[in-house]
Amino acid sequence: MAAFKPSFDQIGEEKLSELIDTFYGKVGAHPDLAPIFPDDLTETARKQKQFMTQFLGGPPLYTEEHGHPRLRARHLPFPITETRAKAWLLCMDEAMEEINLENNVRQEMFQRLVVTAQHMINNTEENS
Ligand code: HEM
């Protein structure tokens, strides 16, 4: 039986970094997402690289610097609707396509992000 290989090892630091930079380029240009994000996404991307590294089974870089992720709580200041969750996932899907992320790891990672994005929804469309 093949040994379990965390997704982070399959993707690698460089490709993950490329994915996240490409992703935030799209987030910053998306009409539903841009208004709730800072204009300068450098720090957001830096934190997301740390988070994704550990999310995919790599070293716990995010927790080392920021403590427990508590992702849903950290997102509460921002109105996250179903529309925004879909937009977030669309940006991610397009970024994965653009950087040619390998299919097997792409599918697994995307499925996990669908679940996490769903969990971040904290607002209805009327209140956003
Ligand atoms: C931070 C929006 C889903 C991980 C943020 C911020 C916003 C945001 C507005 C704050 C940016 C800043 O001030 O720098 C959204 C929306 C989502 C979503 C609309 C749609 C569902 C996710 C998902 C993940 C994630 C699925 C992880 C898999 C993070 C992380 C941060 C962050 C790690 C940085 C937290 C920190 O400040 O330490 N997000 N997010 N987000 N998001 Fe999301």
Query: What is the secondary structure of 46-73 as a DSSP string?
Result: HHHHHHHHHHTTS--HHHHHH-S--HHH
Q: Kindly report the average pLDDT of the chain as a whole number.
A: 95
Torsion of CA 72, 77, 83, 85, to 10 degrees: -30
Residue 1 has pLDDT above 90, yes or no: no
Nearest Cα to 80, choosing from 26, 36, 14, 15? 36
pLDDT at 70: 98
Check: CB of residue 32 under 8 Å from CB of residue 83: yes
86 Cα: distance to centroid of ligand 1 (angstroms): 13
- Mutate which of 82, 88, 96, 108 to test ligand 1's pocket (most atoms within 8 Å of Cβ)? 88
pLDDT at 125: 85
Nearest Cα to 53, choosing from 116, 94, 10? 10
What would the mean pLDDT of 24-32 be, rounded to a whole number?
A: 98
pLDDT at 63: 98
Structure tokens at 87: 């937009």
Structure tokens at 61: 């870089």
8-127 belongs to which homologous superfamily? Globins (1.10.490.10)
1 Cα: distance to centroid of ligand 1 (angstroms): 37
Give the start-to-end residue ranges of the domains of the chain.
Answer: 8-127
**Residue 9 to residues 20, 33, 59, Cα–Cα distance (Å):** 16, 30, 10
78 Cα: distance to centroid of ligand 1 (angstroms): 9
Residue list, ligand 1 pocket, CB within 6 Å: 33, 36-38, 43-44, 47-48, 51, 55, 66, 71, 74-75, 78, 80, 84-85, 88, 113, 116-117, 120
pLDDT at 7: 92
Q: Which residues contact 76 (CB under 8 A, 6 or more apart)?
A: 122
What would the mean pLDDT of 60-83 be, rounded to a whole number?
A: 98
CA 63-69-71 angle, to 5 degrees, is 160
What would the mean pLDDT of 29-41 be, rounded to a whole number?
A: 98
